[in-house]
C-alpha cells in the first residue's frame, strides 16, 4: 500500500429510495433511512477514500464501525456520507465519518479498516468454510 495522507476524504452521495427505508428491515411503518443502509454507505465512503493507494491484489475490510444515527431522513432526500482518514499505522486505517442530508448532520462516528492481501484472505476464508463443512454433522463443532 502506498502512503495515505491524514485528512484524505472519501464521499458518497445517494438519494433515499424505498429499498433504503427502515421498514425494509423488519421495522414496519418506519419510512425513513435505515441505520444498516447508512452503515453500508459509510463503509463505501471509507473504501473510496483509500482506493487509489491500494496496490494490485490489496483490499480493505471493515473491522469496527461505531455510529450515532442522530436524525431521521425521509425518502427522496439526498444524503452525503464522508469518511476522513484520521490515522494510518501499518495496515490499520481509522476514519471519522459523517452523514448529511439536505438539511442537517444526520449521523457521525468512527470506522476502522484493515488492509489485506486479497488472495491470502480469501484462501483463509475458503479454508474456514471447508472446516465448517466437515464439522456440521458434529454438535461439538459449534
Tell me, yes or no, if 110 is annotated catalytic: no
**Catalytic residue of the set 23, 58, 63, 69:** 69
User: Given this model, what pLDDT does residue 140 score?
Assistant: 52
Q: How far apart, in whole angstroms, are the C-alpha atoms of residue 78 and residue 10? A: 17
- 132 pLDDT band (50/70/90 cuts)? confident
**Catalytic residue of the set 43, 58, 60, 81:** 43
Q: How far apart, in whole angstroms, are the C-alpha atoms of residue 44 and residue 6? A: 18
The phi and psi torsions of 74 (rounded to 5 degrees) equal: -80, 165
Tell me, yes or no, if 35 is annotated catalytic: yes
pLDDT digit string (tens) for 14-47? 999 999 999 999 999 999 999 999 999 999 999 9
pTM over 0.85: yes
Phi-psi region of 21 (alpha: psi -120 to 50; beta: other; left: phi over 0): beta
**Catalytic residue of the set 35, 40, 96, 110:** 35
Do 51 and 83 meet the contact criterion of CB atoms below 8 Å apart? Answer: no
Tell me, yes or no, if 40 is annotated catalytic: no
Mapped onto helix, strand or coil, the DSSP state of residue 67 is strand
pLDDT digit string (tens) for 40-99? 999 999 999 999 999 999 999 999 999 999 999 999 999 999 999 999 999 999 999 999
Mapped onto helix, strand or coil, the DSSP state of residue 42 is helix
- What is the assigned CATH class of domain 9-137? alpha beta
- 142 pLDDT band (50/70/90 cuts)? very low
Amino acid at each position: 500500500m502506498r502512503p495515505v495522507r491524514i485528512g484524505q476524504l472519501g464521499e458518497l452521495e445517494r438519494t433515499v429510495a424505498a429499498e433504503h427505508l427502515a421498514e425494509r428491515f423488519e421495522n414496519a411503518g418506519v419510512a425513513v433511512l435505515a441505520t444498516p443502509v447508512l452503515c453500508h454507505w459509510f463503509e463505501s465512503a471509507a473504501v473510496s477514500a483509500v482506493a487509489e493507494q491500494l496496490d494490485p491484489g490489496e483490499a480493505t475490510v471493515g473491522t469496527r464501525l461505531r455510529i450515532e444515527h442522530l436524525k431521521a431522513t425521509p425518502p427522496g432526500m439526498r444524503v452525503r456520507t464522508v469518511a476522513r482518514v484520521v490515522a494510518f499505522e501499518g495496515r490499520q486505517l481509522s476514519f471519522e465519518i459523517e452523514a448529511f442530508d439536505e438539511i442537517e448532520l444526520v449521523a457521525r462516528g468512527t470506522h476502522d479498516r484493515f488492509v489485506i492481501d486479497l488472495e491470502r484472505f480469501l484462501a483463509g476464508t475458503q479454508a474456514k468454510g471447508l472446516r465448517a463443512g466437515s464439522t456440521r454433522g458434529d454438535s461439538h463443532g459449534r
